Amino acid sequence: MTIHTVVMIPGDGIGPEVTAAAERVLKAADAPVRFIERHAGIAALDRGENDVLPLSTVDAIREHGVALKGPCTTPIGGGFGSVNVALRKKLSLYASIRPVRSLPGVKTRFENVDLVIVRENTEGLYSGIENQITDDVVVSMKVATRDSCERIARWAFRYAVHRGRNKVTAFHKANIMKLSDGLFINEAKKVYEEEYPNIKYEEVIIDAACMRLVTDPTQFDMLLCENLYGDIISDLCAGLVGGLGCTPGANIGDVDAVFEAVHGSAPDIAGQDKANPLAVIMSAAMMLNHIGTTRKDTAALESAGRVRDAYNLALTEGQKTRDLGGELSCSGFADAVIDRLKTATAPVGN
Ligand code: ATP
């Protein structure tokens, strides 16, 4: 059996607790991976590194191709820039994939939510280009390049075909940002018309899209978003299925992939064993699926299936953390999933 080396980045705030929980679950599931720990964020500075994103961390991901990452705190209004964003740009992890599905035993306003957010991860207002024009005027640049708009659209349509999904909806505000959002939807439409005419395609203005999402999310399938809309829509959609504790994610490039939950470092509950580790456990299952698919490793695919069955079973049996209305601690939920691994079956795939 091949053992795959995965870079583990615990991150800040609740990161170390939730990633430790996921690591325990993967070990109990006999996942064919071995973790090597590297640091990023304030955690890196605390360990004597002189950068929030040390080169040793980036190089380790380049060497091994896959990482499981906890959140890194981003200071508001000043201080260093986002480590999460810097890592995505450095490794050209241009596609952020965030599946949003109703979970068994987690009661929300809607049933049968099954969405996939595809977020462009490298440009838009995340360019970080801000200029102080005068004391009273600041300009932030929204960057859109034809190549990036085209490649994220192609990624979304290709994913739709591979996963048997029916429709891609591009969210935009091209009525106001005629050039940047205009380029985004024009490239998406071109990819649809020229390469994927059999997948349905629609364009919806972002404000109307938000209203439609909270009215009836089942009318959507895959949501194609530029960077900032994808960020905001991810949290909105998390709210449709139980919150930030249960929304996983992947940042994927042509070479490397970094798996991380949608949530941030949640400093208000850090270090108290209160956080929900489910989103990171789900991200870890996505990671196993990615390893299994890209490296053609059935053992990885099977362990992904075991992990998914085990957390679904735990939720079905009412094993939940406090954010979902349960009583369990972070480590307690990991224990509950590990207990269910003994009874879970192992379907292959996602
Ligand atoms: P950051 O600055 O790193 O983005 P944040 O606190 O601003 O952190 P999030 O961490 O995304 O933003 O979350 C907002 C709130 O949602 C948290 O303060 C916390 O109360 C709750 N939350 C987020 N993730 C979880 C989780 N895994 N389990 C339980 N509650 C969570």
**Domain residue extents for the chain:** 1-93+247-350, 109-240
pLDDT recorded at residue 348: 47
Report CA 167 to chain centroid distance, whole Å: 20
Residue 246 has what pLDDT? 94
pLDDT, residue 82, reads: 86
Residue 114 annotated as catalytic? no
**Helix, coil or strand: residue 222:** strand
pLDDT band at 344 (very low <50, low <70, confident <90, very high): low
Contact between 260 and 3 under an 8 Å Cβ cutoff? The reply is: no
Beta bridge partners of 108: none
In which band, very low, low, confident or very high, does the pLDDT at 350 lie, cut at 50, 70 and 90? very low
Q: Do residues 96 and 119 lie in contact, with contact meaning Cβ atoms separated by under 8 Å?
A: yes
Superfamily of domain 1-93+247-350: Isopropylmalate Dehydrogenase (3.40.718.10)
**Type of residue found at 48:** G
The more confident residue out of 73 and 238 is 238
Q: Could you give the CA distance from residue 168 to residue 203 in angstroms, rounded to a whole number?
A: 9
Ligand 1: which of 98, 103, 247, 263 to mutate, judged by most atoms within 8 Å of the beta carbon? 263
Q: How many CA atoms are closer than 13 Å to the CA of 264, on its beta-carbon side?
A: 14
Q: Which atom of ligand 1 is nearest to the CA of 265?
A: 3
CATH topology agreement for domains 1-93+247-350 and 109-240: yes
Q: What's the CA-to-centroid distance between 272 and ligand 1, angstroms?
A: 13
Fold type of domain 109-240: Isopropylmalate Dehydrogenase (3.40.718)
pTM exceeds cut of 0.75: yes
266: which DSSP letter? -
Tell how far the Cα of 41 is from the centroid of ligand 1, in angstroms: 16
Q: What is the number of the ligand 1 atom nearest to the C-alpha of 12?
A: 3
288, pLDDT greater than 70: yes
Query: Three-state DSSP class for 110?
Result: coil
* Tens digits of residue pLDDT in 196-246: 999 999 999 999 999 999 999 999 999 999 999 999 999 999 999 999 999
Pocket test for ligand 1, best of 244, 265, 283, 324 (most atoms within 8 A of CB): 244
Concerning whether 69 is annotated as a catalytic residue, the answer is: no
Interior/surface letters 242-277, b for 16+ CB within 10 angstroms, e for the rest: bbbbbbbbbbbbeebbbbbbbbbbbeebbeeebbbb
> How big, in percent rounded to 5, are the helix, strand and coil portions of the chain?
45, 20, 35
Q: What is the pLDDT of residue 84?
A: 86
Atom of ligand 1 nearest to the CA of 76: 2
Structure-model confidence comparison of residues 345 and 120, the more confident one = 120
Amino acid in the structure at residue 262? V
Q: Is pLDDT at 345 greater than 60 in this prediction?
A: no
Which pLDDT band holds residue 156 (cuts at 50, 70, 90)? very high
Per-residue model confidence as pLDDT tens digits over 82-97 = 888 889 999 999 999 9
